[in-house]
Amino acid sequence: MVFIEEKHSYLSSFTDQPKQKALFALVSDEDLAAQPNEISETDAIYYSSIQGIKKNAKADFNKQYIKISKRKVSENSAAPFVHDDFLIFTLVIGVLKFDCNKDWLFGVIRNRAKSKTTTTFENLMTGNYQSKANNQSMILVFLFLLDKSKITNDQLNEAYSAMSDTKESFNNDFIRILYYRAFDIIIKFKLPRDTDEVSRLIEFETRFKRRINIFTYLVYNTLLLILLIGAFKLLHSLPENIKSKINEVGLIIGIGGVGLLGNIIPKLKAMFQKFIFRAFGYKKEY
């Protein structure tokens, strides 16, 4: 109860701290508030990158990543953005989520001041989630966002054990936000059930959703192809005297009809995809 009160009190203090609010929005289900009006270019990239990640918009994130990756980073760089944990964590998530080029971000991380946070950033980039040198809050939050199937019972136990050291967990706002979010994740996964079994179910769900997306894509394109072939054969089966009466206006109307179908069919595709999910027991909100 004391922990919940402390967490609520701390999160309530973000009223005048948009950067902290944005990070919490990134790692939780909270909506991202509008970014402040007068901010630096670096902070604008930070807010816009979070927006791109939450919208699952690769192009939007990549635009921000290209912008910041034009900056040169030298050994032992003192540039503020290099040591901005909020920004670097956001970029790590976006780069791995959208499979962007890692070289520039690797260079930034390797030229940061050495610390547990820096080590964890590098291990996130290489997929080394099991290292004892990692900050377990960061690892757990990262996996929850990008690949829940890798959250095992051992991972949760390791995180809980490490996070019990509150002196380490509360050394700055960045770590503290991830600490609170990680505890929420531990509570969510450590319900009285076999967590490893849950991990396998989540992994299956990920594969299932991917296959359903592929299936509906194939059905959608097959339907379009059938319609085009059918229209082509119908046209060529008409008597010659009717064919001769088809003029440019008729062609324009036909093209317009195809365009109309092109707008309707994607909606049918989405409806079909929802039907498949519901047929396999998914709740309406999923």
pLDDT of residue 249: 45
Distances (CA, A) of 20 to 44, 69, 86: 14, 23, 8
State the pTM of this model.
Answer: 0.66
| 121 in Cβ contact with 89 (< 8 Å) | yes
pLDDT at 76 over 90: no
- Mean pLDDT in residue range 65-72: 94
- pLDDT band (50, 70, 90) for residue 191: low
Closest CA to 143 of 164, 165, 120: 120
Spans of all domains in the chain: 2-192, 199-279
Least confident of 105-109, 110-114, 246-250: 246-250
92 SS3 class = helix
Predicted confidence (pLDDT) at residue 167 exceeds the cutoff of 70: no
CA dihedral 72→101→98→61, nearest 10 degrees, is 30
Closest-CA residue to 215 (of 143, 173, 276, 263): 276
pLDDT confidence of residue 26: 94
Per-residue pLDDT for 283 more than 80? no
Burial of 177 (0-12, 13-18, 19+ CB in 10 A): buried
Residue 141 confidence (pLDDT): 94
Confidence at 46, pLDDT banded by 50, 70, 90 = very high
Q: What confidence tier does 1 reach under pLDDT thresholds 50, 70, 90? A: very low
Q: SS3 for 176?
A: helix
